[in-house]
Copies of this chain bind each other. A is one copy, B any other.
Amino acid sequence: MNDQAADLSATRLVALDWGTSSLRAYRLGDGGRVLELRHRPWGIMHLPPAPAGEDAGTDAAFERALQDACGDWLAAAPQLPLLACGMVGSAQGWREARYLHTPTSLDALAQGLTRVDRPGGQPLHIVPGLLQPGDLPNVMRGEETQVLGVLADLPAEDPGPWLVGLPGSHSKWVVAQRSGIEGFHTFMTGEVFAALRGHTILGRTMAPADAQSGTAPDDAAFVRGLQVACGSDAGLGLLSHIFSTRTLGLTGVLPASAQADYLSGLLIGHEVAALARVHPPGGSAAPVQPLLCGEPDLCRRYALALRLQGFAEPAIAAQATPTGLWQIARAAGLPAGEAPQPSSAESLAA
């Protein structure tokens, strides 16, 4: 108990990365150092059910999830500020947070927080999402915070601009400068892969996912897929290329165990080929530097794809959400009991 009390006195912020499928609660100390992390399955679509006789409403469900993740922190140090990012600010979240339009800055995000009052406790603040208007509008919730965290960790002498890739179910590619986020693209690569594997004929001849989980990814099959996406048959496009997953199996070229990796290569290859069309590597006056942030094996695969398209070797950044939440909290003046420091906006400015 003494240890815990000592730890809590060093806490400056409770930072929450609250997405669709999970909740990560960080206890952050001076300078945004992670003192403790707790991971709960309480994504906004999977909140803990109400015990019999308790309030079954939305506010109560979110509060239950929060209490389960870090109720002891909040009880022992009731003055701790709370800041959350991600789908918790969507229409299906705790409270709908506004979208800021791109381009935007750290200060604009910090000034745009949405406040959720909690009876008997500190309010929860939610980071705005980003909206890029246009014929093909684009939205994000949570990734803007991750990108600010990535930028904060870059050496101050590096001027950018960067092309920050956040691969996953909906991959984001964010054009960022020291001054903030310029714009971004979304590619549904991960979710399309899962839908093709799980719900089309392509999955029927693939080795089951669990049988593969213990085996190493088949990089040769993956690279074969990458090469098709940018090779002499590139013109046929994705809807045609994916059928070759089946026919290369039928003709004995790709064994069942290699077909998922080949399909992954086709999809990631098409994503990065599109990226190269809209941000030609080496083609502009101020070439963008690619930078990857995400699950390590996925980043490794995207690095192969970027290299094949002529991009500079991408730097791989650590998971950056708590750092981003810290940057925003500081710019908003949230952290508790911290010694005065230069504003994070100044430290991020080029």
Contact = CB atoms under 8 A, between A and B. Distances in A.
Nearest to A193: B239
For chain A, the bracket of interface size reads 35 or more
Interface in A280-326: none
A189 interface: yes
Contacts of A247: 136-139
A248 interface: yes
A310 to B, nearest CB: 16
A235 B199 contact: no
A69 interface: no
Contact of A273 (B139, B186, B191, B237): B237
A233 interface: yes
A78 to B, nearest CB: 37
Given A136-B240, A251-B137, A199 B195 contact: yes
A188 B243 contact: yes
Contact of A228 (B135, B188, B194): B135
B242 A188 contact: yes
A136 B270 contact: no
A274 B234 CA distance: 9
B267 A239 contact: yes
B274 A236 contact: yes
Contacts of A238: 237-239, 270
A270 B240 CA distance: 10
Contact of A199 (B199, B239, B241, B251): B199
Q: Of residues A138, A198, A237, which shows the largest number of chain B Cβ atoms within 10 Å of its Cβ?
A: A237
B239 A192 contact: yes
B274 A170 contact: no
B137 A236 contact: no
A87 to B, nearest CB: 11
Contacts of A179: none
Contacts of A6: none
Interface in A199-237: 199-202, 228, 231, 233, 235-237
A250 interface: yes
Nearest to A139: B247
Given A139-B250, A243-B187, A244-B137, A237 B200 contact: no
Interface in A118-144: 131, 133, 135-139
Given A135-B233, A138-B247, A233-B136, A240 B187 contact: yes
A271 interface: yes
A339 interface: no
12 contacts: A136-B233, A136-B247, A137-B244, A137-B251, A139-B250, A170-B243, A186-B240, A192-B239, A195-B195, A237-B271, A238-B238, A239-B274
Interface of A: 131, 133, 135-139, 170, 185-189, 191-192, 194-196, 198-202, 228, 231, 233, 235-244, 246-248, 250-251, 253, 267, 270-271, 273-274, 277-278
Given A136-B240, A186-B240, A195-B199, 9 more contacts: A136-B228, A139-B250, A187-B243, A188-B200, A188-B240, A235-B277, A236-B274, A236-B277, A236-B278
